[in-house]
Amino acid sequence: MNPSPGTGTKCQILFTVNGEARKVLAHPMERLLDVLRNDLALKGTKEGCGEGECGSCSVLLDGMLVNSCLVPVVQATGASIVTIEGMSAQALMIPLQEAFLECGGTQCGICTPGMILAAVHLLEKTPEPAPADIREGLAGNLCRCTGYQQIFEAVAMAARRMVRK
Partner 1 sequence: MVTAKDIPGKNCISLILDDQPCLAAETVNHPEEPILLLAHADCRMLRKAVDAVSIEYEPLPPVHTMEESERQSTIIWGTDNAFKSYLVEKGDVEAVWKDAAHIVEGEYFTGAQEQLYIENNGVIAAFDPEDGVTVWGSLQCPYYVHKALMALCGLPEDKIRVVQMETGGAFGGKEEYPSMIAGHAALLSIKSQRPVKIVYDRMEDMVATTKRHPSRTRHRTAVSKDGQILGGEIEFTIDGGAYATLSSVVLSRGTIHAGGPYYWPSVRIRAKAVATNTPPHGAFRGFGAPQSLFAMERHMDHIAQVAGISPVEVRRRNFLKPGQTTTTEQTIREDIDLDHLLGRALELSDYAAKKARFAEENRSGMRKKGMGIAAFLHGAGFTGSGERYLNSLVGVEAGADGGVRVLVSSAEFGQGTNTVLCQIAAEALALPYEGVMIARPDTTVVPNSGPTVASRTAMIVGTLVQSAAQGIKQTLMKTGLLGDNYTPEQFRASCGQFIRTHGALKSYARYEAPGDVYWDDEKYRGEAYAAFAWAVYVAEVSVDLTTYAVTVDDFVALQEVGKVLHPVLAEGQITGGVAQAIGFALYEKVVWQNGRMINNQMTNYIMPTSADLPPIRVFFEQLGNVHGAHGAKGIGELPMDGPAPAIVNGVEDAIGVRFRSIPLLPEDVFEALQPEPPRQQGPSSTRGTT
Partner 2 sequence: MRADPAEFRLVSPGDLQVVLSLLASEPTEWLPIAGGTDLMVLYSAGKLPNRKLVNIWNIPELRQIEVFPDTIRIGAACTYTALRGHDDVSREFPLLAAAASWTGGIANQNRGTLGGNIANASPAADSLPALLVYDAEVTLISVRGNRRVAYRDFHQGYKQTALAADELIRDISLPRRFSGYVSHARKVGARNAQAISKVCLAALGIIANGAIRDARLALGSVAPIPLRLHETERSLAGKKIEPSLIGTVRQSVEREIRPIDDIRSTARYRAAVAANLVVEFLEKLATERTRA
Ligand X SMILES: Cc1cc2nc3c(=O)[nH]c(=O)nc-3n(C[C@H](O)[C@H](O)[C@H](O)COP(=O)(O)OP(=O)(O)OC[C@H]3O[C@@H](n4cnc5c(N)ncnc54)[C@H](O)[C@@H]3O)c2cc1C
Phi, psi of 17 (to 5 degrees): -120, 120
Indicate the DSSP class of residue 6: P
Site for ligand X in 33-72 (CB under 6 A): 52-53
Q: Does 139 bind ligand FES (CB under 6 A)?
A: no
Give the strand order in the sheet containing 64-67. Answer: 20-26, 11-17, 80-82, 58-61, 64-67
Complex with ligand X: residue 58 or 146, whichever CB lies closer: 58
If you ran DSSP here, which 8-state letter would residue 48 be given? Answer: S
Residue of 66, 92, 115, 143 that binds partner 2 (CB under 8 A): 66
Angle at 28 between CA 25 and CA 32, to 5 degrees: 85
Query: Would you say 121 and 157 are in contact if contact means Cβ atoms under 8 Å apart?
Result: no
Residues 121-160 that bind partner 1 (CB under 8 A): 134-136, 138-152
Q: Which of 1, 49, 64, 139 binds ligand FES (CB under 6 A)?
A: 49
Residue 144 beta carbon to ligand FES: minimum distance, rounded to whole angstroms: 5
- Residue 10 found at the interface with partner 1 (CB under 8 A): no
Which 90-109 positions form the footprint of partner 1 (CB under 8 A)?
102-104, 107-109
Query: Which residues bind to ligand X, rule: CB under 6 A?
Result: 52-53
